């Protein structure tokens, strides 16, 4: 099932995606409560609205953790000219950076002039898990969505640590919806692309991941508890702007699209303030 959150008639509404329409669901609880019920088939349907008229919100709006994995694609490690990591490289993005489909990616020119794109498969955790085994890992997954790990490279590399450059408001677009785990037979066999103004910048497949989703969940859950609605960004493939020659950074008016096979297309436009 594909589920999204939209703002409709002055309320946050949960919807199911069907073809080119969004089906309003008769559900007023939280996404966390829905995950605990573990029963999506019992949701009652109401009227439908066209996808193109929807005001999308991030499919997950309140996460206790947004965990990102660095250098997790073999082709990306190659373009960085770096050895493959022996264990996952983790960093975080503040939950205040979460952003939705068709919303602007915004930054001030006085803060950063090197904003980059990173197409990523995001994993949505669906249950509390601590020190899980590899064969239990998929049970902790609620679903998947497209993500863009937007990065201010001048801040990221200038600071010596990555939090500021990764966590500016709007710098973690997700969506347009999340796809329940049962609809993705193999999350390690999905084509993934990033396009800027229609030009393909990243083109790869999730089979390039160095550490699999179960590997990541085991590693992370052995260090800290994962909770429902926690988000894991599983890394980006080759083609990011900072390692291109010449370098490519986003500019005002650019449209960035992240497309992942069997999930959808996440689209955002760059908006820059010169203040």
Which pLDDT does position 33 carry in this prediction?
81
Residue 248, pLDDT above cutoff 90: yes
Residue 34, pLDDT above cutoff 90: no
**Tokens of residue 24, six digits:** 């309003």
- 22 and 76 fall within a common domain: no
Contact between 265 and 271 (Cβ < 8 Å): no
* 237 band by pLDDT with thresholds 50, 70 and 90: very high
Residue 131, pLDDT above cutoff 80: yes
Determine the Cα angle at 98 with ends 95 and 102, to 5°: 175
Domain that holds residue 8: 2-56
Q: Tell me phi and psi for residue 65, to 5 degrees.
A: -145, 135
> Average of pLDDT values for 103-114?
98
Residue 175: which CATH number?
3.90.850.10
User: What is the C-alpha separation between 193 and 257, in angstroms, rounded?
Assistant: 8
Which pLDDT does position 40 carry in this prediction?
74
Which pLDDT does position 41 carry in this prediction?
72
Which pLDDT does position 149 carry in this prediction?
99
Which pLDDT does position 270 carry in this prediction?
99
- 164 and 51 fall within a common domain: no
**Tokens of residue 74, six digits:** 């073999």
DSSP string, 63-109: -S-EEEEES-BHHHHHHHT-PPPSS-EEEE--GGGEE-TTPPEEEET
- 19 and 63 fall within a common domain: no
- Distance from CA of residue 94 to its chain's centroid? 13
């Amino acid at each position: 099932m594909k589920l999204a959150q939209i703002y409709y008639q002055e309320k946050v509404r949960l919807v199911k995606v069907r073809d080119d329409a969004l089906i309003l669901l008769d559900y007023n609880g939280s996404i966390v409560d829905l995950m605990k019920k573990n029963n999506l088939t019992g949701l009652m349907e109401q009227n439908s609205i066209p996808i193109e008229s929807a005001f999308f919100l991030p499919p997950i709006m309140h996460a206790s953790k947004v965990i990102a994995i660095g250098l997790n694609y073999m082709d990306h490690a190659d373009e960085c000219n770096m050895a493959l990591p022996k264990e996952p490289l983790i960093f975080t993005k503040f939950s205040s950076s979460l952003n939705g489909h068709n919303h602007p990616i915004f930054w001030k020119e006085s803060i950063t002039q090197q904003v980059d794109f990173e197409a990523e498969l995001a994993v949505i955790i669906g249950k509390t898990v601590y020190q899980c085994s590899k064969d239990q890992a998929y049970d902790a997954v609620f679903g998947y969505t497209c993500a863009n790990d937007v990065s201010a490279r001048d801040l990221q590399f200038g600071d010596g640590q990555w939090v500021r450059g990764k966590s500016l408001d709007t710098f973690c677009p997700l969506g347009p919806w999340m796809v329940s785990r049962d609809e993705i037979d193999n999350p390690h066999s999905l084509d993934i692309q990033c396009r800027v103004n229609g030009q393909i910048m990243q083109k790869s497949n999730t089979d390039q991941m160095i550490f699999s989703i179960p590997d990541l969940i085991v590693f992370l859950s052995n260090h800290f508890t994962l909770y429902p609605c926690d988000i894991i960004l599983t890394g980006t493939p080759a083609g990011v702007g900072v390692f291109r020659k010449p370098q490519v950074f986003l500019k005002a008016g650019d449209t960035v699209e992240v497309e992942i096979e069997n999930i959808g297309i996440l689209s955002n436009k760059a908006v820059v303030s010169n203040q």
